[in-house]
Amino acid sequence: MFKKIRFTTKLFVGIITVLVMVLLASSIVSIYNARKGLEETGTASLRALSLTIKQTLTMQNDLTQDKLKTDLAVMENVMSQYGIPRLVKNNQVRETIVNQVTKARETVSFPVLQFGKSVVNNNFEIVDAVRDMVGGTATIFEVLPGKLLRVSTNVKKLDGTRATGTYIPSDSPVYQTVMAGRTFYGKAYVVNAWYLTAYKPLRDEEGNIVSVVYVGRKILTDALVDFLREASRELRAGIYAYNSKGDILVDVTNQFTGKNIFPGPGGKLFENTKNGVIRYQAQDNGVMKIASLGYFQPWDWHIGVELTEQQLARGIDRKLAINGFIILIAGIGVSVIVLWLFIKTMTRPLQELAEQAEAVRQGNFDVTFTYEANDAIGTLGKAFLEMVDNFKNVLLEMATGIKRLSDSSADLNKISGEINSNTAEIATTVDNVASSADSMSQAINIVASAMEQTTANVNTISTASDELSSTINEIAENAEKAKNVVDNAVNNAARTTEKVNALGDAANEINKVTEVITEIADQTNLLALNATIEAARAGEAGKGFGVVANEIKELAQQTATATDEIKEKVESIQNVTGGTIQEIKDISEIISNINDIVTTIAGAVTEQSVTTQEISRSISEVAAGVGEATESVHQTSVDASQVASDMETVNLLAGKMTTSGKEVQESSKILLDLADRLNKMVARYDGLVKS
C-alpha cells in the first residue's frame, strides 16, 4: 500500500512527520527545561526558606542567650536581697523525688535550704518575682549527692503543677558543669520540654556548692511556631524539625510531632543528610516529595522544608503544556503551507522528467529536459537523456539482429523441407535397391539350381550332350539376366550415394545456419543485457524498458536453446548420413563383386557353348569349372542376402533422417515464432526503428 503512494505525498508526509517530531521534541524539551527551571526555582525557594528559618533560629538563639544572661543577673539581684544560701542540717525534710529523665522515684531525707533566714523549699516568692520581672522560667536547686533537686520553681509539669521534687541526675552535662563551678549556658531538657538555659552554682559561706539557680526560656515558643506556620502557609510547604535521634520536635501540622522520622520513607536520607536537598516517596500516597534540610547545631535541630513535585510546579507545567501545544499546532499549520509551496517548486522538474519518461514509454524518443542546477535532479536528467539515446541505439541494433534472425529462420525452414524431400527420395531409392537385390537373389538361386543340374548332367555327359547344350543356353540367358540386375543395382547405388552426399551437404549448410543463429542469439542476449542496464540506470522511468529487455533476453535464451537442439539434430543427421554413405559404399563393392562373378559366369558359359565339342575331351575340366561356378553362385546368393539386409539398414537410417528433418523443421518454426514475437516487441517502437 505504501509503495503505491505518490512520491510528493510521501515527501510531504515525511517532512511533516519529521517536523512534527522536531516540534514535539522541542516542546517536550522546552516544557522539561521550564519544569526543571521551576523545580530548580522551587528548590532554591526551599533552600532559601530553610536558610531563613535557620537564620531566624540563630538570631533567636543569640537573643535568648543574651536575655538569659540578663535574667540570671536579675535573679542574682533578687536573691541577694535575701542573703547567702546555706543548708540547715538540723532541719531535715523527707520527700519522694523523681528523676526527670527516667521518671524513677525514691524517698530521701535532706536538709532545708535557706537564703539568709528565708526557707527556699516550696517557697516560690523569688522565682515568681523573677518571672514577673523578666518573663521565662526560674528555678532554685538544692544540691544533693549526685542530684540537683528542684525545691522552688515556676516550671510546670504536664498536669499544671509545679515541678518541685524532680531532679537532674549526675550524668547530665548540666550537673557536671555546675558542680565543676562553672555556669552552664545551652540547651537542656527541663522536666518535659527543651529550654535554652543558664545554670549558675551558688556557694555557702564555707565555699561549698549548696545550690544552683536556673533561668530558662522554651526553645519552641509560640512566636516561633507562629512564624513557622506562617512560612508554611505562604509557601504551602511542610516545615518540621527533628533531632539527631530522629525525634520530630516540631511539625506545623502537628501530625508527626513526637514521632521518629528515621523509620519512615526516606529515613536513611534524613539520617545521613545534614544540609542539602533530598527526594523521597511518601508512604501513604506514593507522591514524590522534595525536602531541603539544614542543621542548626546549637539546638541540634534538623530543619526540613518540603513540597511535593506538583506543589513545586504550582500548575505552571500544565500552562506550559497548553502553550506548547498551541505553538505546536500553529507551527505545523505554517509549516504545511510553506512545505506545500516548497515541495511543489522542488518537484516541478521531477514532474517534467516523469512526463518525458512517459513519452519515451509510448515510443517517442525525441525528448528534451533542461535543468540548470548541478544537483541530483540535474544528474538524473542527464542520465535519463543518455539512457534514452543508448536505448534508442540498442533498439536499432536489436531490430537489425531480429531481421537477420527472421531471415535465417526462413532459410532453415526451407532447407529442412529440402532435407525431408531428399530423404523421401533416398527411401524410395533404397526400396528399389532392396527390390533389385531380391530379384538378383532369386536369379542367382535359379542359376544355382541350373548349376546343380549341370553338375548332374556332367555325370551323365556321355548320354546327354544335347541336353547339356540346351542347359548351357539357359545358363547363358540367366547369366545375362543376372548381369542386367547387377547393373541396375550398381546404377541405383550410385544414385543413392549422390542423394546421401547431397543430404550431407544440406546438413553442413544447416550447421552453418545454426552457427549464424547462435551468433545472432548471443548478440541479441548482449543487446538485451545492455537494455537491462540502461533501464536499471533509469530507475522508475525505465522499469517498462527493463521488462521489455528481460523478455527479449528470455527469447534470446530460448533461441539459443532451440539452435542447440537443431545443431544436435543436424549432427545426428550428419552421423546417419555418414553411416549411410559407408553402407552404400559397402553395397556398391558387393554389387561390383557380384557383377564380376556374373561376368565370369557368362564368360564361362560362352566358352562352354563354343567348346561343346571338346566336352568329352575335357570333361574333368568342365566338372571342375561347374564346381567353381556352383560355389560362386552360392557366394553370390549370400552377398545378395547381405545387400538386402544392408538396404533394410539404409531404409531405417532414411527413416531416422526423415524424423530428424521433421524435428529440424519444427525447430525452425519455433525460431520463426520467436522472431515474430521479437518483431512484435520492437514494433512498440516502430517509429524509432523506421527512423
* Domain map (residue ranges) of the chain: 81-219, 382-690
pLDDT greater at residue 348 or residue 135: 135
Cell numbers 526400396 correspond to: 431
In the sheet with 238-242, reading across from the earlier edge strand, the strands are 248-251, 238-242, 301-308, 288-296, 276-281
For residue 617, is pLDDT > 60? yes
Half-sphere exposure in the Cβ direction for 283 (13 Å, CA) = 7
pLDDT greater at residue 261 or residue 40: 261
Query: Distances in Å between the alpha carbon of 176 and those of 69, 212, 215, 604?
Result: 20, 12, 18, 177
CATH of domain 382-690: 1.10.287.950
Continuous segment of H or E residues that includes residue 632: helix 619-682
CATH of domain 81-219: 3.30.450.20
- Can you give the pLDDT at residue 689? 47
For residue 691, is pLDDT > 60? no
- Can you give the pLDDT at residue 315? 45
For residue 248, is pLDDT > 80? yes
End-to-end CA distance of the chain: 41
Say whether 458 sits in a helix, a strand or coil: helix
- Can you give the pLDDT at residue 105? 96
Domain 81-219 and domain 382-690 have a common topology: no
Residue type, position 476, single letter: A
pLDDT tens digit sequence for 651-665: 676 676 667 667 666
Whose CA is closest to 582, among 639, 668, 653?
A: 653
- Can you give the pLDDT at residue 508? 73
| pLDDT mean across residues, the chain | 76
511-532 per-residue burial string, b: 16 or more CB within 10 A, e: under 16: eebbebbbebbebbbebbbbbb
Cα three-residue angle 686-689-691, rounded to 5 degrees:
110
Pairing of strands 85-99, 166-169: parallel
Q: Do 218 and 194 contact (CB within 8 A), yes or no? A: yes
Say whether 655 sits in a helix, a strand or coil: helix
The three cell numbers of residue 229 are 506556620
- Can you give the pLDDT at residue 40? 72
Per DSSP, the chain holds a count of helices (H) and strands (E) of: 12, 14
Residue type, position 585, single letter: K
For residue 122, is pLDDT > 50? yes
Any idea which of 193-202, 497-506, 515-524, 632-641 has the lowest mean pLDDT? 632-641
Any idea which of 351-360, 458-467, 474-483, 579-588 has the lowest mean pLDDT? 458-467
Show Cβ contacts of residue 244 under 8 Å, excluding neighbours closer than 6 positions.
300, 302
